[in-house]
């Protein structure tokens, strides 16, 4: 009951506005026919509304901390550190620009390439609290399934039950919210559609693709079951972000409240 109440309170705290914060880990395609060098963009923003882009790792004091604590890829159970590959960029949303990162990764070998990003906690001044979104992205090469449903034992983690790169628009995606290898019962999730094309050469967002009929459609909500399991129907092709709020084992940072969230990105494809 305490875990449930904590999750609910964090949800209310961090969803006071209609538009959710999402750590984006973006590449154009998640299913590749053959090996390639893939571009990656690490941006902290609001995927559907794009009304504000945040500086990654923004602190409320003058402490000099790296905006990214960890960034690596897992392929056939082998972990490769990618932190040194990151280059700081300025990413332009439709209203402002902010500190973000770019990288390029050689996805040469067949199988799943499971990326994990752990940004430094972000200080949300309006709430006097921190947000840390531990984010996963899976890119497959040549159709061989290997690591897509690996349990990594992260402090906050969504383990997919559906390959996140092999989903038809109109079908469903299922996952388990976990913390340090254990399911998080009744985890509260937010879901947003990446409603803008990402222009890689200019590091910027394009115009909106669809218009929400009401603010409640911008950030969708879902509650996992007692075993941390959830299922969501993907109505449109494109990238969808899932964030399990306050699902991590850490709830405080620098003496302030911390929402340690699990994020995963799923790409749905149109059936033609």
Residue closest to 218 by CA, chosen among 244, 245, 191 = 191
Euclidean distance between CA atoms 57 and 49, whole angstroms = 21
Question: Residue 163 contacts by C-beta under 8 Å, 6 or more apart in sequence?
Answer: 138, 140, 145, 148, 149
How much of the chain is in helix, strand and coil states, percent to nearest 5? 5, 50, 45
Instruction: Report the C-alpha gap between 91 and 101 in whole angstroms.
Output: 8
Domain range for 70: 2-269
3-state secondary structure of 2: helix
- Give me the residue label for tokens 């590749």: 32
What is the pLDDT at residue 63? 57
Joined tokens for residue 228: 């941390």
Q: List the alpha helices (DSSP H) in the chain.
A: 2-14
Q: What confidence score (pLDDT) does residue 19 get?
A: 61
- Tell me what pLDDT residue 20 has: 85
Phi-psi region of 204 (alpha: psi -120 to 50; beta: other; left: phi over 0): beta
State the pLDDT at residue 15: 39
Q: Which helix (H) or strand (E) holds 67?
A: none
- Report helix, strand or coil for 3: helix
Burial class of residue 43, CB neighbours in 10 A (0-12, 13-18, 19+):
buried
Q: How many domains does the chain have?
A: 1
Task: Compute φ and ψ for 234, nearest 5 degrees.
Answer: -100, 105
Q: Output the tens digit of pLDDT for each of the chain's 272 residues.
A: 434 434 444 444 333 344 689 999 999 999 999 999 999 999 999 999 999 999 998 887 755 578 999 999 999 999 999 999 999 999 999 999 999 999 999 999 999 999 999 999 999 998 999 999 999 999 999 999 999 999 999 999 999 999 999 999 999 999 999 999 999 999 999 999 999 999 999 999 999 999 999 999 999 999 999 999 999 999 999 999 999 999 999 999 999 999 999 999 999 999 98
Which residues is 233 bridged to in the sheet?
Answer: 172
User: Whole-structure pTM over 0.95, yes or no?
Assistant: no
* The CA-based dihedral angle spanning residues 170, 148, 134, 12, taken in that order and rounded to the nearest 10 degrees: 30
Three-state DSSP class for residue 12: helix
């Amino acid at each position: 009951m305490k875990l449930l109440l904590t999750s609910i309170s964090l949800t209310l705290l961090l969803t006071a506005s209609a538009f959710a914060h999402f750590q984006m880990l973006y590449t154009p395609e998640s299913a590749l026919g053959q090996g390639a060098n893939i571009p990656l963009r690490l941006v902290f923003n609001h995927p559907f509304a794009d009304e504000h882009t945040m500086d990654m790792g923004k602190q409320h004091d003058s402490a000099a901390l790296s905006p990214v604590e960890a960034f690596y890829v897992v392929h056939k159970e082998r972990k490769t550190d990618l932190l040194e590959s990151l280059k700081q960029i300025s990413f332009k949303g439709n209203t402002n620009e902010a500190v973000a990162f770019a990288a390029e990764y050689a996805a040469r070998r067949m199988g799943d390439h499971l990326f994990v990003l752990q940004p430094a906690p972000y200080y949300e001044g309006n709430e006097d609290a921190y947000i840390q979104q531990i984010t996963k992205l899976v890119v497959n090469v040549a159709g061989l399934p290997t690591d897509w449903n690996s349990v990594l034992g992260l402090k906050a983690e969504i383990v997919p039950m559906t390959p996140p790169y092999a989903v038809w628009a109109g079908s469903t995606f299922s996952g388990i919210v976990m913390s340090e290898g254990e399911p998080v019962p009744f985890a509260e999730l937010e879901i947003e559609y990446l409603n803008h094309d990402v222009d890689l050469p200019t590091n910027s967002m394009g115009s909106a693709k669809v218009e929400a009929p009401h603010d409640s459609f911008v950030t969708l909500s879902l509650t996992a079951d007692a075993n941390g399991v959830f299922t969501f129907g993907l109505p449109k092709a494109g990238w969808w972000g899932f964030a399990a709020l306050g699902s991590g084992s850490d709830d405080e940072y620098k003496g302030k409240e911390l929402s340690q969230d699990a994020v995963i990105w799923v790409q749905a494809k149109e059936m033609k």
